[in-house]
Amino acid sequence: MSDLTDLTLAEARDALRSGETSATALTEAYLEAVEGADALNAVVHKTPEVARRQAEAADARIARGDAPELCGIPIGVKDLFCTEGVASQAGSRILQGFAPRYESTVTDKLFTAGAVMVGKLNMDEFAMGSSNETSTYGPVTNPWRAGNSDAALTPGGSSGGSAAAVAARLCVAALGTDTGGSIRQPAAFTGTVGVKPTYGRVSRWGIVAFASSLDQAGPMTRTVRDGAILLGAMAGHDPKDSTSADLPVPDFESALTGDVRGKVIGIPKEYRMEGMPSEIEQLWQDGVTMLRDAGAEIRDISLPHTKYALPAYYVVAPAEASSNLARYDGVRFGHRAALDQGDGIVDMYEKTRAEGFGDEVQRRVMIGTYVLSAGFYDAYYNRARKVRTLIKRDFEQVFDAGVDAILTPATPSAAFELGQAQDDPIQMYLNDVFTVTVNMAGLPGAAVPAGLDRRGLPLGLQIIGRPWDEAGMMNVAQAIEDRAGFVARPEKWW
Amino acid sequence: MSIDTETARRVAHLARIRVEEDRLPALAGEFNAILGFIEQLQEVDVDGVEPMTSVTPQRLKRREDVVTDGNQPEAVLANAPDAREGFFAVPKVVE
């Protein structure tokens, strides 16, 4: 067999079941890849002991013929997931030294199914960022480089470590989370597949909360099929998350026929942004052609409140964050500032949070505090929630009119250089202009690689699905994957 | 609407984040840039629109009102920066 790290999740699963390879062999291959990739800074807590123990157990299960889909599959876990006895810092200094005494529902499900964890993955602090530069561990470097330049590019964010790890083959697949685009934007920047499920499809229990009404965990993989397999293992009702939906989980993988004949694909005119690079425009057009060739019906649609999604998000998300992050006070877990003689408890809170939170997190917590404060609550927070209702209504109307899925670009550009957009928060926020509507409306969205720009960097398309129709959405992604013939991968320089 | 240094100071205190005096003017500037961006929302006609409370229509599930967890003070305190005799320890709270 050729390099074990070249196997997709589906191929690795089949090779494990047929005895062509073992979980231990697969795991060792990935641990070696992780060891050799420190230059990417994608894996921030390596867990080889955990991985070897899990691999051994997986081999025993496979030998007994008791092998669920993920049995023996090496995965990477975003640092936002609480993993029992393993550092879980959400990319923040304020959680330095925190090792939870419990397992998040998603990682518990995956480990129960036999998955192997190679390590915890870098991310923007508390998932607030689009370039992985707000991380306390320092930025991740994208394994992709432009043309013959060796300038360091961002892998996107906030799930930048997950995207880079999958693209660089440091794990078969990775877990990400998406509050405004944090799975789909990094997937697009790294030529990988990222799926944000319908709000409520996947339990949030044990995932460090950023904006609870928007957060969803999802798979980041090399292929659409792999995403379907991993999502199936992550999804399902959880009594510990009151917003998780008590709905049956379809067999996402078997739904991937790639047949989209007769499906109605909406093309929203509001996503044709002023100043959009021609390559993004061309990619979108290529996607339309691919789906039309596949027998889908292409229909122009309008989502009139699109332009208000990002400003509404920057009220709702910071408001929820200011509330969620109130728990980091230096009392129960993580960092506590050294205090001066005579300091009281408020000094402790203020010093701890000033030292523990980075600039962007501080900024968002304070903006959230402001929009929720007396006198501004109606003007900002309530208005943003009303706009959110309108954004969701836009989607409901096009779905009611018979649209099955919506096709848009995933990002307004390819991966940019680290340091390039750091100084201007608003410029950074614009990365999520195509993805954030989906979170505001609670819909499923997927990013799938569909081409390269002229410098050889990957570009992604986004498919937005009807609520709970991840299966149909991923099938459209499959149709694009089948036709785009995206086989490029980053040349190893690390 | 514009945020001045005094408002920035008040917001920082409400958020329980210590901001040094010389950082306040720059912070106020950052707030103003972000609030300027958010200001677009004022153009939207939201008359008669309900503010969203739940993005997916669902009734919260109910369960028996019984204790389902507990009796693990050691695990609860395990990550505390300062825990003593079964309690979280903090600086003096009352004068």
Q: Mutation test of the interface with chain A: which of B56, B61, B64, B93, choosing the one with the most A Cβ atoms within 10 A?
A: B56
pLDDT over threshold 80, residue A490: yes
Does residue A451 lie in a domain region?
yes
pLDDT-based confidence at residue B95 (cuts at 50, 70, 90): low
**Residue B15 vs residues A144, A211, A267, A314, A364: alpha-carbon distances, Å:** 39, 16, 42, 17, 10
Residues of B in contact with A346 (CB under 8 A): 16
Does A167 map to a domain? Answer: yes
Q: What percent of chain A is helix, strand and coil (3-state, nearest 5)?
A: 40, 15, 45
- Mean local confidence (pLDDT), B33-45: 95
Does A322 reach chain B within 8 Å, measured CB to CB?
yes
pLDDT digits (tens, 9 = 90+) for A409-459: 999 999 999 998 777 888 888 889 999 999 999 999 999 999 999 999 999
Does any domain span residue A344?
Answer: no
Task: Establish if A150 belongs to a structural domain.
Answer: yes
Per-residue pLDDT reduced to its tens digit, A124-145: 999 999 999 999 999 999 999 9
User: Which of A66-75, A306-315, A468-477, B52-61 is the least confident region?
Assistant: B52-61
In 3D space, the residue among A207, A206, A185, A205 whose CA is nearest the CA of residue A196 turns out to be: A185
Q: What is the CATH number of the domain that holds A119?
A: 3.90.1300.10
User: How confident is residue B22, by pLDDT bands cut at 50, 70 and 90?
Assistant: very high
Query: Residue A386 domain-assigned?
Result: no
Q: Beta partners for A221?
A: A193
Q: At what angle do helices A9-17 and A224-234 cross, to 10 degrees?
A: 70
Q: Is the pLDDT of residue A184 over 50?
A: yes
How many Å apart are CA A411 and CA A188, to the nearest integer? 7
Q: Do B15 and A346 touch (CB under 8 A)?
A: no
* Residue A365 within a domain: no
Query: What is the pLDDT, as a whole number, of residue A7?
Result: 97
- Of A378, A354, A383, A355, which Cα lies nearest the Cα of A366? A354
Q: Is residue A269 assigned to a domain?
A: no
Chain B residues within 8 A of A353 when measuring between CB atoms: 15-18
> ipTM value of the model?
0.96
A43 alpha-carbon distance from chain centroid: 15
pLDDT of residue A1: 47
Q: Is residue A402 part of a domain?
A: no
Residue A126 gets the label, from left (phi > 0), alpha (psi -120 to 50) or beta, of left
For the segment A260-281, the average pLDDT, to the nearest whole number, is 94
Please state, in angstroms and rounded to a whole number, the distance separating the CA atoms of residues B41 and B29.
20
Domain that holds residue A164: 4-261+407-422+443-484
Distance from CA of A76 to the nearest CA of B (A): 24
Q: Report the alpha-carbon distance of residue A249 to residue A359 in Å, rounded.
A: 40
pLDDT at A2: 60
Q: Which residues of B touch A440 (CB under 8 A)?
A: 55
Shortest Cα–Cα distance, A137 to chain B (Å): 21
Q: Are A363 and B30 inside 8 Å of each other by CB?
A: yes
Q: B83 at the A interface (CB within 8 A)?
A: no
Consecutive H or E run containing B67: none
Q: In what order do the strands lie in the sheet with A297-301?
A: A43-46, A116-121, A74-78, A173-178, A216-221, A193-196, A445-452, A458-465, A405-409, A264-268, A297-301
Number of compact structural domains in chain A: 1
Provide the annotated active-site residues of A. Answer: 78, 158, 182
| Predicted local distance difference test score (pLDDT) of residue A229 | 98
Q: At what angle do helices A309-324 and A359-372 cross, to 10 degrees?
A: 100
Mean residue pLDDT of chain A comes to 96
Using a CB–CB cutoff of 8 Å, tell me whether A305 touches chain B. Answer: yes
Give the model confidence (pLDDT) of A41-76 as tens digits.
999 999 999 999 999 999 999 999 999 999 999 999
In chain A, positions 40-99, which contact chain B (CB-CB < 8 Å)? 97-99
CB-CB under 8 Å, A389 with B49: yes
Model pLDDT, residue B1: 57
* Model pLDDT for residues A286-310, shown as the tens digit of each residue: 999 999 999 999 999 999 999 999 9
